[in-house]
């Protein structure tokens, strides 16, 4: 099966999360992705979190469908390999600190001279310009300085982190979107390649809704509000009698009235003062208390059954165990199986988004370090003797 990106060649020079996740999406939809890793231990993600026989399960997921070559980019031979790969690539994705590739002789000016149609996605903490460009930055810093963490958690308590590396993943998605837009320009003949400059901080900041104009005009600083949605009512997380939690969003005018009828509070649903969001925000505590009291008298399943019948958006808080067992996830192909190198079958997330004609697919799990050295180097013109010389010099593993 051919994915929508079949024929696109991607060179991945990154490590850990942001650049590799972006490259993974290209690989899932048919692009030929070559990942360059340092000889020795390779990408540190290989040893992060849960390990299966010494290799991270996250690695097998993050690097699926990619080819791995082990190249020392600090050697002349390694630099020559990366240049030759970039010369035939459509996209290069990297997440080193700004200036790092330039020190190796692999910066944008060098690579674009070799390949004028090249699109280079550069993911960093603060971007390629500005006074903070040289600072190191991880996704957690992006979440902090992009505004996300300040608004997350309960009032009066230290902000918690989201349970996953959301800052890195947001940067990845912006990188993929930017790369595809830049590729469209190249493939349509409208222009040459360019740099897609992605900042972790800005990728988070881009999701901060109307916070800036609200602050500018009204002096509003959005604060932590727990499970509720500030300025929108009602929307919150409510406890059920069996210890479960349900998110209920009754924040459109007709849905609010249906919700109040479902919980037996037609007095609130019929109150003209509550027929607009602004009116409900002014009395949010009263509304929230009514919903919370109703939910706390019922098991989670009963809460969801009543609200589904009333066509009120609601969902139970899912753990990973709930996700894997859920029939809708299964019906949508969001829980798939992948066979590891030793034959063990493991369930993994499916592919997003869904395509009607050219869907993405899982072709193989994350490869062994340098598994594709010979095949990839042969594809770009290295002879057997040259490959042997590169190994002898330490340029490749």
What strand order describes the sheet that includes 66-70? 66-70, 32-37, 9-12, 91-94, 119-124, 195-199
CA 199 – CA 130 distance, rounded (Å): 11
- Tokens in use for 311? 């066509």
pTM of this structure: 0.93
Q: DSSP strand E in 302-372: where?
A: 314-316, 335-339, 345-349
Distance of CA 178 to the CA centre of its chain: 14
Query: Confidence band (pLDDT; 50, 70, 90) for 227?
Result: confident
Fold for domain 235-316? formyl-coa transferase, domain 3 (3.30.1540)
**Are 366 and 61 spatial neighbours (Cβ–Cβ below 8 Å)?**
yes
CATH number of 9-206+331-393: 3.40.50.10540
- Tokens in use for 300? 């989670």
Q: Please tell me the predicted confidence (pLDDT) of residue 114.
A: 98
Helix (H, G, I), strand (E, B) or coil at 48: coil
Q: Mean pLDDT throughout 181-192?
A: 97
CA 378 – CA 81 distance, rounded (Å): 11
Closest CA to 145 of 199, 216, 220: 199
Query: Confidence band (pLDDT; 50, 70, 90) for 397?
Result: confident
Asked whether the predicted pLDDT for residue 10 surpasses 90, the reply is: yes
Q: Mean pLDDT throughout 207-220?
A: 95
Q: Please list, in sequence order, all residues whose beta carbon lies within 8 angstroms of the beta carbon of residue 325, skipping any fewer than 6 positions away.
A: none
Q: Please tell me the predicted confidence (pLDDT) of residue 2.
A: 80
Query: Confidence band (pLDDT; 50, 70, 90) for 1?
Result: low
The active-site residue out of 168, 322, 342, 384 is: 168
If phi over 0 gives left and psi between -120 and 50 gives alpha, with beta otherwise, what is residue 355? beta
CA 182 – CA 194 distance, rounded (Å): 7
- 40 phi/psi in degrees, rounded to 5: 105, -100
CA 142 – CA 136 distance, rounded (Å): 11
Q: Mean pLDDT throughout 353-380?
A: 96
CA 360 – CA 371 distance, rounded (Å): 23
Query: Confidence band (pLDDT; 50, 70, 90) for 279?
Result: very high
Name the pairing type of β-strands 91-94 and 9-12: parallel
Q: Is the peptide bond before 353 cis (omega within 30 degrees of 0)?
A: yes
**Are 368 and 56 spatial neighbours (Cβ–Cβ below 8 Å)?**
no
Q: Mean pLDDT throughout 291-304?
A: 98
**Are 60 and 337 spatial neighbours (Cβ–Cβ below 8 Å)?**
no
Q: Please list, in sequence order, all residues whose beta carbon lies within 8 angstroms of the beta carbon of residue 310, skipping any fewer than 6 positions away.
A: 258, 259, 261, 262
Q: Please tell me the predicted confidence (pLDDT) of residue 226.
A: 86
Q: Mean pLDDT throughout 74-78?
A: 97
- 259 phi/psi in degrees, rounded to 5: -65, -45
CATH 3.40.50.10540 region(s) of the chain?
A: 9-206+331-393
Helix (H) or strand (E) holding 34: strand 32-37
pLDDT tens-digit profile of 254-264? Answer: 999 999 999 99
Query: Confidence band (pLDDT; 50, 70, 90) for 126?
Result: very high
CATH 3.30.1540.10 region(s) of the chain?
A: 235-316
Count the Cβ atoms, other than its own, within 10 Å of residue 221. Answer: 10
CA 124 – CA 128 distance, rounded (Å): 7
Mean pLDDT value across the chain: 96
- Residue carrying the six token digits 């600190």: 97
CA 135 – CA 145 distance, rounded (Å): 13
Is 242 among the catalytic positions? no
């Amino acid at each position: 099966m051919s994915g929508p990106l079949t024929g696109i060649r991607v060179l991945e020079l990154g490590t850990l999360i942001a650049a590799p996740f972006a490259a993974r999406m290209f690989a899932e939809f048919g692009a030929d992705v070559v990942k360059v890793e340092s000889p020795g231990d390779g990408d540190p993600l290989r040893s992060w979190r849960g390990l299966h026989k010494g290799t991270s399960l996250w690695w097998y997921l993050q690097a699926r469908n990619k080819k791995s070559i082990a190249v020392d980019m600090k050697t002349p031979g390694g630099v020559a390999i990366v240049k030759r790969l970039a010369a035939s690539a459509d996209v290069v994705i990297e997440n080193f600190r700004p200036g790092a590739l330039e020190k190796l002789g692999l910066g944008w000016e060098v690579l674009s001279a070799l390949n004028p149609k090249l699109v280079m996605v550069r993911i960093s903490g603060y971007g390629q310009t500005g006074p903070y460009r040289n600072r190191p930055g991880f996704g957690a810093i992006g979440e902090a300085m992009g505004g996300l963490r300040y608004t997350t958690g309960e009032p009066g308590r230290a902000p918690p982190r989201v349970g996953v590396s959301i800052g890195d993943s947001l940067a990845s998605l912006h990188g993929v979107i930017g790369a595809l837009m830049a590729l469209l320009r190249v493939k349509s003949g409208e222009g040459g390649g360019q740099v897609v400059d992605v900042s972790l901080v800005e990728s988070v900041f881009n999701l901060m809704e109307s916070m800036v104009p609200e602050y500018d005009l009204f002096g509003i600083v959005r604060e932590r509000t727990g499970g509720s949605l500030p300025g929108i009512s009602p929307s919150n997380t409510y406890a059920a009698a069996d210890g479960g939690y349900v998110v209920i969003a009754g924040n459109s005018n007709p849905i609010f009235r249906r919700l109040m009828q479902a919980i037996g509070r037609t007095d609130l649903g019929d109150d003209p003062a509550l027929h607009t969001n602004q009116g409900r925000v002014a009395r949010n505590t009263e509304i929230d208390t009514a919903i919370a009291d109703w939910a706390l008298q019922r098991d989670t399943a009963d809460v969801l059954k009543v609200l589904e019948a009333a066509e009120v958006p609601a969902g139970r808080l899912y753990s990973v165990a709930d996700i894997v067992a859920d029939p809708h996830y299964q019906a949508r192909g969001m829980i798939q199986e992948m066979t590891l190198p030793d034959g063990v079958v493991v369930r993994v997330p499916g592919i997003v988004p869904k395509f009607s004609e050219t869907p993405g697919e899982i072709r193989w799990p994350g490869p062994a370090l340098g598994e594709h050295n010979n095949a990839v180097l042969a594809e770009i013109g290295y002879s057997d003797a040259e490959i042997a010389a590169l190994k002898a010099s330490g340029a490749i593993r």
